Amino acid sequence: MRRLGLAALALALALPAVVRAEEPPHYTFAPPPPGTIVQSLLVYLAGEAMHSQWRAVLSKVAAHWYLSIYAIDETTYRLRYQSPKSAIPLGGPVDVASLTSGELMGPAVQQLVVTSHTPGTGCGSARVDVLFFDAAMQIVMPTLSVRNRCRLSARVIQDAAGTALAVSGPYSAPGSHATASNATAILRFHNGTWSEMPRYFPIVTGG
């Protein structure tokens, strides 16, 4: 009995915590992302079943940024979404951008998080956009956008309440002299809506 127990434990430790479909070792993009690729992120926008891999690609042509989102088809990633044609989130003169992902709206399906900064008066403006795949409409679309002056950063976190998005940046309380150079708000998706605690940064639902 003890040997069986040890064998079961060894098997459990050997198995990965999350089983995801493997990406083809040699893949291509159709059409290729414009310009030079800055970041390419594997993301499971439609779940973790076989042939469900997606790739989000940030690229640049001169000073112009593009976000291209592809879905796998055999060994080819085919374009499903691209800004600035889709406008959100890189529809303006962005000077820096980055990607991350997480299961923010429920288990087993990921959403794409895009952080970007637009130059302007003073220190410019920043935004964090969350994009998801709408299975019914078969399109990628925004579900949330958070805005701030100067700077924003975002990271996916796990806590006692589940998976959430931590967004940080400078904050000034309205009608007050109270400021914080790096305030952090936690955003959660629950029962079909987003909430923010504390409410530091303006939220635009749906981008």
Query: Mean pLDDT throughout 190-201?
Result: 94
Dihedral sign of CA atoms 76, 80, 86, 90 in order: negative
Specify the DSSP class assigned to residue 2.
H
The first and second tokens of residue 19, run together, are 């089983």
Whether residue 33 has a cis bond before it, omega within 30° of 0: no
Q: How far, in Å, CA of 200 to CA of 145, rounded?
A: 13
CA–CA separation, 112 and 100 (whole Å): 6
* Per-residue pLDDT, 187: 98
How far is Cα 86 from Cα 58, in angstroms, rounded to an integer? 14
> pTM of this prediction?
0.86
pLDDT tens digits along 107-143: 999 999 999 999 988 899 999 999 999 999 999 999 9
Of the listed ranges 15-19, 26-30, 64-68, 125-129, the one predicted with least confidence:
15-19
What per-residue confidence (pLDDT) applies to 4? Answer: 40
Beta-strand relationship, 76-83 and 28-30:
parallel
Position 50 confidence tier, pLDDT thresholds 50, 70, 90: low
Close Cβ partners of 160 (under 8 Å, ≥ 6 residues apart): none
Asked which of 6-15, 74-83, 118-127 is least confident by mean pLDDT, the reply is 6-15
Q: What pLDDT, in 10s, does the model give residues 155-176?
A: 999 999 999 999 999 998 887 7
